[in-house]
Homo-oligomer: A and B are copies of this chain.
């Protein structure tokens, strides 16, 4: 319905807001929502997300993009993107056997709460095929073992590269190689459990139980070559007590994972998340 989004990022410098606002005004776009942030008042990195209304946006988009690059983007050395809010992101979900994150995403999407179009679900196990089928979405089973990792990832890349705008690891229990991340051609969001403090290695819920932790959390972040250390998009916690068994801690953990991942995916699909170095700005 003629609603566009412009996201920009560049070194902070005088006149950016004026130039962007001037450009939009000149091209018949009326600003509906504007978020802006600079990491520092000197030598900072500048971020802006602008939502605007423009008659006939769909047809005008290529021209607007070229004009913006020409008249504003190049001058300020910007990275920018102009998108049509009516075009949902194409998303692939990768999953193993746990269903809670996958179903939360599919279910919310069916209720039109997420701005995405799930084009396929890829799993290294066949277990969730029927669940996915009931949503009318393609389920692709790509088994993976140490021996087949290279070819399995290659097969996934074939399905993904250039065909999706986002990959979501909804408890996909495999580590994606740096090579995969380099070649998939779009961001990858991952979810994992989190504690204060962290409990490294295997059996984190047992370790948390043994320490008597009172909060169980989850973190959604962009996957990077060092898998669990990419920029954080969203986090949350739930309260637990000594009465909760290790199994119950895992159940509460699953609950917070699904809501945290859903929020992170939603923000990403609304073009709200911008990364800089290893952190995020959510506008």
Please give the residue numbers on chain A whose beta carbons come within 8 Å of chain B beta carbons, in ascending order. Answer: 3, 14-18, 20-22, 24-25, 30-38, 41, 53, 99-100, 103, 107, 111, 113, 134, 194-198, 209-215, 217, 219, 228-229, 231-237, 241-243, 251, 255, 259, 277-282
Contacts and interface: CB of A to CB of B under 8 A. Distances in A.
Contact of A18 (B21, B209, B281): B21
Contacts of A38: 31-33
Given A197-B194, A235-B214, A235-B215, A111 B107 contact: no
A16 B241 CA distance: 23
Contacts of A20: 21
Contacts of A228: 197
Contact of A197 (B17, B24, B198): B198
Given A17-B17, A18-B18, A209-B279, A214 B196 contact: no
Q: What 7 A-B pairs come out closest when comparing CB atoms?
A: A212-B279, A18-B21, A194-B196, A197-B198, A17-B21, A34-B36, A198-B198
B35 A211 contact: no
Given A14-B25, A18-B18, A37-B33, A219 B242 contact: no
Contacts of A36: 31, 33-36
Q: Is the interface of A mostly helix, strand, loop or mixed?
A: mixed
A213 B235 contact: yes
Contacts of A251: 113
B242 A37 contact: yes
A104 to B, nearest CB: 9
A36 B41 CA distance: 19
A277 B138 CA distance: 50
A229 B217 CA distance: 19
Nearest to A209: B279
A17 B31 contact: yes
A29 B243 CA distance: 21
A69 B224 CA distance: 50
Given A18-B21, A18-B24, A242-B280, 18 more contacts: A17-B21, A17-B34, A22-B22, A30-B41, A32-B38, A33-B36, A33-B37, A33-B243, A37-B242, A41-B53, A107-B107, A197-B197, A198-B198, A210-B277, A211-B231, A211-B232, A215-B236, A242-B282
A215 B217 contact: yes
Given A31-B17, A33-B38, A41-B53, A211 B103 contact: no
B232 A214 contact: yes
